[in-house]
Amino acid sequence: MNPHMVSTVVLVVHWVVIVILSIRVVMRRPPVGVAMAWLVVVFSVPFAGAAVYLLFGEKRLGRSRAVRIQSGVPRLTRWQASLGAQAVTVPLPIGPPGEPLRRHAERLQGFPALPGNETLLLSDFESVFDHMIRDIGAAEQTVHLCFYIWEEKGRTGEIVDALTRAAQRGVQCRAIADALGSKTFLKGLQAGRLRRAGVDLRAAWPTGLARALATRTDLRNHRKIAVIDGRVAYTGSQNLVDPRFFKQKAGVGEWVDAMVRIKGPAAASLDGVFLFDWSVETGATFEPPTVWTASGSAMPGGSVVQVVPSGPDLQAESIHQVLLKAIYGAECELVMTTPYFVPDDALLTALTTAALCGVAVTLIIPARNDSLLVRHASAAHFDDLMSAGVRIALFNGGLLHTKSLTIDGAVSVFGSVNLDMRSFWLDSEISLLVYDRDFTGRLRDLQERYLRDSERLDPDVWNSRPSRRRFVDNACRLLGPLL
């Protein structure tokens, strides 16, 4: 075969691949920005672009995982309906943002808003570890943990000690750690110690070359959940890491996180999310917690809390819709914190519209980020936001990892979700909607603490940055749908 014929065959194959994958992208109907970004990759990088798309361009759950999810969803739905006996059935007494948001979230994911929860906002890792270790130490029946990142150093060893003691006294201890985020831990000494003590430790979304052919390898379980005896639960942004040791070489300072401790009916909702994940990872039948015994008694006058899980195993776009509904429902003020801000057009439009309508919109993000691409892609949106009146604050006290949104001082969105496409569409996430002015006030105070350690971005100074920086920011913005 002469060189001319070889080049012709290669060219023909190249265009056949492009046409087939283009049709595939169009027919799968991803968000327009995502579709266009993938088409650019496929067209511009011969063969390699096609390979990258086949590995990362589709939500391939794997056949066996998809079957386990489909078999568990009907039982999950029936259990969610059984929570209705405890649900809020009257309009929430907190003004316009709450009631439409509650109805929307329940229709999307099925979890009702449950009253009577005692909520404790924990704003530093020491208090998170102190409370969690104490609650595990008092466990009588079950301890359930699900975390994206679990590392051995620092105070995480105390969590291992507490779990080991709990398992040895007969408490059923089950834990899920993401196979990629906790890769080193799952192969380490502490994981072996847990297993020997009787803790059932599993890897979420296992990876490997063979699995990559059937499953998209960057679909991850990004949730942070701990539930003790079905009555006390934790969630938020804190992984099982000690920030004094975690990613110290990244040059961004210590990670700054927050968690909420919940005692009451909403703990059972979080336990249900964990047990559904457990059934998917282990193949066990989904057995939801008992509504009345596992949830505990409601606290009179406590917070109304609604759990919103999201991810490729459930309704992936649910948290995206919930956030848009929350933003459009604001009348006076929106304050949000996130480590990774790479909005799509819908979210960007919602934020600028709110600001132009007179809502005081504040975005607090880290001054230094551990992802260079995210840093530039995020910066590309600052011009539009500040032009609309959004206040942007750069946090200087480390890598601000808390994910929070407060609306009109009445409603909070709090959990593991970043304001980027990965959290919206790909990763398994957990969020809480808290309809309570007292809790929202405490979260708002924490946001103010972050603001005091931040520098407000000056629009005039920002607009005078070098042209080469503008170009890099805008070029990275094009990759935003893929980040």
Query: Which of 271, 401, 420, 473 does the annotation list as catalytic?
Result: 401
Q: Is 183 a catalytic residue?
A: no
CA-based torsion, 281, 285, 286, 292: positive or negative: negative
Query: Which of 104, 144, 222, 376 does the annotation list as catalytic?
Result: 222
Judge contact between 263 and 270, C-beta under 8 A.
Answer: no
Total Cβ atoms within 10 A of residue 466: 8
CA–CA distance, 110 with 307 (Å, rounded to integer): 9
Side chain identity at residue 76, one-letter code: L
Q: Is 224 a catalytic residue?
A: yes
Q: Is 229 a catalytic residue?
A: yes
Q: Which residue has the tokens 């005091």?
A: 452
Q: Is 104 a catalytic residue?
A: no
Query: Which of 344, 408, 427, 436 does the annotation list as catalytic?
Result: 408
Exposure string over 440-451, b if 16+ CB within 10 A, otherwise e = bebbbebbeebb
Judge contact between 77 and 70, C-beta under 8 A.
Answer: no
Q: Is 271 a catalytic residue?
A: no
Q: Which residue has the tokens 């990892």?
A: 401
Query: Which of 135, 144, 178, 229 does the annotation list as catalytic?
Result: 229
Burial class (CB in 10 A: 0-12, 13-18, 19+), 36: middle
Query: Which of 104, 144, 224, 263 does the annotation list as catalytic?
Result: 224
Q: Is 401 a catalytic residue?
A: yes
Query: Which of 135, 320, 403, 473 does the annotation list as catalytic?
Result: 403
Catalytically active residues, by annotation: 222, 224, 229, 401, 403, 408
